[in-house]
Amino acid sequence: MIRRIAPATLKSWIADGQELAILDAREEGLFGTAHLFWAVPCPLSQAEWRAPQLLPRLATRIVVCDGGEGEAEQLIAVLQGLGAADVSLLAGGTPAWARAGYEVFSGVNVPSKAFGEWVEHHDGTPHVAPETLAAMKADGEPLVVLDSRPFDEFHAMSIPGGINVPGGELVYRLPALKIPPEATIVVNCAGRTRSILGAESLRQAGVPNRVVALRDGTMGWELAGFHSDHGKTARFPPGPPPDVAATRAAAEAFATRNGVRIATTIPVALERTTYVLDVREPEEFAQAHLAGSVSAPGGQLVQATDRWVAVRHARIVLVDDDGVRARMTAGWLRRLGGWEVWVLDGAMARARAPAPATAPTMETIGTEAFRALHAAGAVVTVQLGRSLASRAGAVPGAVWGVRRRLGAVRARLGASLATELVVVADPVAAEHASAELRALFPGMRVRLLAGGAAGCGLPLVTDRTNPPDEACIDAYLRPYDRNSGQEAAMRTYLGWEVDLPAQVARDGDARFGAW
């Protein structure tokens, strides 16, 4: 029996100060069309492994919703199978929430995006227009452009002359850049949030330079008619930066001002959901990390908190090595509001290299065997995973699909004389999809391609139109992911960010800065 609750009940639960996770069962692209402010996407296609990451304590109170399609009931069955007991269904889903007169939001990472806009207004974060930056560069003014996005985003598109320093690294890495005090520091991202939070991080840390955010980021730069670079690799110097003592003191002050708690052991309580998140760069995490911790680079954690944290009023414990990045990230999470936030000092003394990955239990096929089947036309290849990743590199002849929706793949393939089916996917996703594939392709031998798409031994196919935009239900497409109307999408996106504070005020469920 599924327990159903009315929108008014959920609205009261959001405000009662107790632990609560609101999970939306739809794929991210569908979730992004309309959802509750504090809802977190937990797509049904990934639920078996995504839900335990979002819910470290399955005993917490959970509400599941969707857009009225019935996927929420299926997600509840998965959650109950994992051991969750306190699970309710929002009756009527997001449409019922809207009919009750409550706010419905589009987009993804909405709480973090709205928080960025709040920070700009509350802290008075200064910005420069793209035209102003271009004039400063042309006039030879002393300045440095710091791109606060992860490296892959910077590599794809960047402001000419920019240096990649992801947001969580800015305060920590700045001394290594040896920027003269007379130089203006311009922080940019693709749009607004990480530009604002990155610039304000440096300002809050007391950097002596003039620090400004680039208004509207690379999108604003391109909309103003300026050229972006592609394929650039300029980054902060590797290794521990100099003057960590000074930057730690600045980070300590920021954390203290915002009510961050410090511990030397993980503060765990059985009745409390606890997230242990490592805010260092992913490469550092991969070398060694604290057992049980999860990689969540600090800048991205603040920019997309709902990617890692689903439970409101949970306890978040942040880990790094020198204490700078964890303290800066913790301060921002406290200001975002709704969690008890700790920094774990001395964690790296207990860090260990990760254990070797366990071999997949699913039968695999290697490069040579796959190439032989492919050459003979004796194989059907199904590529799971992100639609955008498939666009960037697909096995020749592969058909992309979403788990639990693979009937569409079967329909596209039509009749086939092949006797083999090869899955291109993460081993966990492939394992969970195998039963669905065997039912759709009876009599075929189903195997996992070892090494993923790169293991096919053939030149991968790059095609931005396959799958087409309308089929990418698994991803909320950024303006520059689209194949048409990019300029209009950029303007719409930037306007959406600016308008968020008014919508958040109408919703009434955010308490930025009120911890």
The pTM for the full model equals 0.96
The CATH classification number of 3-108 equals: 3.40.250.10
Q: CB of 476 within 8 A of CB of 28?
A: yes
| Greatest Cα-to-Cα distance within the chain, rounded to the nearest angstrom | 71
CA dihedral over 479, 54, 275, 39, signed as positive or negative: positive
Strands 340-344 and 261-263: parallel
Q: What is the pLDDT of residues 360-396, one digit of tens each?
A: 899 999 999 999 999 999 999 999 999 999 999 999 9
Decide whether 3-108 matches 117-242 in CATH topology: yes
Burial of 229 (0-12, 13-18, 19+ CB in 10 A): middle
Residue 513 in contact with residue 335, Cβ under 8 Å? yes
460: tokens are 């991968």
pLDDT band at 358 (very low <50, low <70, confident <90, very high): confident
Grouping H, G, I as helix, E, B as strand and the rest as coil, residue 298 is helix
Alpha helices in 6-70 (DSSP H): 7-14, 28-31, 47-54
Q: Which two tokens stand for residue 44?
A: 């049904």
Considering the domain delimited by 117-242, tell me its CATH architecture.
3-Layer(aba) Sandwich (3.40)
Specify the residue for token string 């998140």.
277
> DSSP string of 218-269?
HHHHHHTTPPPB-S---BPPSSPPS-HHHHHHHHHHHHHHTT-EEESS----
Every domain of the chain and the residues it spans? 3-108, 117-242, 250-350, 364-471
* Buried b or exposed e, range 180-198, using 16+ CB within 10 angstroms: eeeebbbbbbbbbbbbbbb
Is residue 424 within 8 A of residue 395, CB to CB? The reply is: yes
Residue 515 has pLDDT above 70, yes or no: no
pLDDT (tens digit per residue) in 24-45:
999 999 999 999 999 999 999 9
Tens of pLDDT along 433-489?
Answer: 999 999 999 999 999 999 999 999 999 999 999 999 999 999 999 999 999 999 999
CATH of domain 250-350: 3.40.250.10
Determine phi and psi for 278, rounding to 5 degrees. -95, 115
Strand extents, DSSP E, 59-177: 62-65, 87-90, 127-128, 143-147, 163-164
Structural tokens at position 31: 């979730």
The angle at the Cα of 300, spanning 36 to 501, to the nearest 5 degrees, equals 40
Write the pLDDT tens digit of every residue in 318-339.
999 999 999 999 999 999 998 9
CATH number (3.40.250.10, 2.60.120.200, 3.40.190.10, 3.40.50.970) of 364-471 reads 3.40.250.10
Copy the structure tokens of residue 113.
């995006």
